Amino acid sequence: MALSACEVTIDKTKKELVRHGLVMFPIACYEDDLALTAIPWHWHDEFEFIMIIEGIAPIQVEETTIQLMQGDAIFINSGVLHNIDNGKTVEAKYNSLVFHARLIGGNINSVFWQKLITPVMQDKSFRYLHLDHSISWQAELIKDMATAWKAVVEEIEDYENLVRYHLSKAFRLLNNNHQVPDVNISYREKLSVERTKVMIQYMEEHYSEELSLDIIADRAYVSKSVCLRCFRQVIGTTPIRYLIQYRIEKAAERLTASDEKANEIATSCGFSDISYFSKCFRELKGLSPLEYRQSFTKKCGPA
Q: Are residues 60 and 168 in the same domain?
A: yes
Q: Which residues pair with 183 in a beta bridge?
A: none
How does residue 303 score in pLDDT terms, banded at 50, 70 and 90?
very low
What is the structure's pLDDT at 2? 46
Is the pLDDT assigned to residue 286 strictly greater than 90? Answer: no
Interval 2-47: pLDDT, tens: 455 555 554 444 444 444 556 778 899 999 888 777 677 888 889 9
What is the structure's pLDDT at 257? 86
Which of 99-103, 104-108, 173-177, 207-211 has the least mean pLDDT?
104-108
Q: Are residues 169 and 256 in the same domain?
A: no
Q: Are residues 222 and 258 in the same domain?
A: yes
What is the structure's pLDDT at 42? 83
Q: Are residues 41 and 153 in the same domain?
A: yes
Is the separation of the CB atoms in 106 and 99 below 8 Å? no
* Residue 261 within any structural domain of the chain: yes
Given phi > 0 = left and psi -120 to 50 = alpha, else beta, which region is 14? left
What is the structure's pLDDT at 20? 52
Average pLDDT over residues 169-180: 86
What is the structure's pLDDT at 302? 47
Q: What is the pTM of this model?
A: 0.65
What is the structure's pLDDT at 63? 80
Which of 95-109, 175-189, 249-263 has the least mean pLDDT?
175-189
Query: What is the CB neighbour count within 10 angstroms for residue 267?
Result: 15
Buried b / exposed e over 36-66, threshold 16 CB at 10 Å, is bbbbbbbbbebbbbbbbeebebbbbbbbeee
Q: Are residues 67 and 106 in the same domain?
A: yes
Is the pLDDT assigned to residue 141 strictly greater than 60? Answer: yes
What is the structure's pLDDT at 182? 47
**Residue where a domain stops, chosen among 177, 197, 232:** 177
Kindly report the CATH number assigned to the domain that includes residue 211: 1.10.10.60
Q: Are residues 138 and 242 in the same domain?
A: no
Domain of residue 259: give its range.
187-300
* Residue 143 within any structural domain of the chain: yes
* Residue 9 within any structural domain of the chain: no
Q: Are residues 168 and 40 in the same domain?
A: yes
Is the pLDDT assigned to residue 166 strictly greater than 70? Answer: yes
| Antiparallel, parallel or unpaired: β 47-55 and 73-76 | antiparallel
Is the separation of the CB atoms in 37 and 91 below 8 Å? no
Measured CA to CA, the distance from residue 202 to residue 297 in angstroms comes to 32
* Residue 247 within any structural domain of the chain: yes
Given phi > 0 = left and psi -120 to 50 = alpha, else beta, which region is 5? beta
Which of 45-54, 96-105, 109-118, 159-168 has the least mean pLDDT?
109-118
What is the structure's pLDDT at 19? 47
Is the pLDDT assigned to residue 134 strictly greater than 60? Answer: yes
What is the structure's pLDDT at 153? 92
Which of 58-62, 146-150, 275-279 has the least mean pLDDT?
58-62
**Residue where a domain stops, chosen among 110, 142, 177:** 177
What is the structure's pLDDT at 87? 56
Is the pLDDT assigned to residue 225 strictly greater than 90? Answer: yes
Kindly report the CATH number assigned to the domain that includes residue 115: 2.60.120.10
Average pLDDT over residues 168-174: 95
Measured CA to CA, the distance from residue 255 to residue 288 in angstroms comes to 11
Look at the chain and report how many structural domains it folds into: 2
